[in-house]
Amino acid sequence: MNEAEQHLEAHGVKPTAVRVLVWEKASRQTETFTLHDMEQWMPHMDRSSIFRALKLFTEHHLLHMIDDGTGQQKYCLCRCENGKHLNHIHFTCTKCGRTFCLEDYVIPTVEMPEGFVMEDVEYVVKGICAQCTQ
């Protein structure tokens, strides 16, 4: 069993051939990516197979999804510890459209009114990235 298969199994994901190939590609990404990106990188794989694998990986905390307001769902590697998601800020460049995980910046604590139960938090800062300001 290779490293990708072991990693998937350790997270409760059955390592099918498709899932292993998608995970190998996704786990090498240093920036956020979309389903469309994955399709471009894996042109011989069916779109729905890639989508199902990405969805499963998010459910098992291997990836997390980012809704940055661009209309395209983006994914990045999840840095969970003991099943707890490490929430961090995302930055979307309004010039180039790239979204960055700012893992050193945690989402501020938000106090909820009585009777409200928070399930998830997304914190997206929009502006111009360092590369586009040069």
Token representation of residue 67: 């809704």
Strand order in the sheet with 88-93: 99-106, 88-93, 124-127
Q: Are 129 and 68 in contact (CB under 8 A)?
A: no
Contact (Cβ atoms closer than 8 angstroms) between residue 19 and residue 53:
yes
Q: Are 54 and 35 in contact (CB under 8 A)?
A: yes
Confidence at residue 81, expressed as pLDDT on a 0 to 100 scale: 62
Please report the beta strands in the chain, taking only residues with DSSP state E, as ranges in sequence order: 33-34, 63-66, 74-77, 88-93, 99-106, 124-127
Per-residue pLDDT of the chain (134 residues; tens, 9 = 90+): 789 899 899 889 999 999 999 999 999 998 889 999 999 999 999 999 999 999 999 999 899 888 888 788 899 888 766 555 567 788 999 999 888 888 788 778 889 999 999 887 778 899 999 999 88
pTM tops 0.95: no
Half-sphere exposure of 85 (CA within 13 A, CB side): 19
Gap between the Cα atoms of 79 and 73, Å rounded? 18
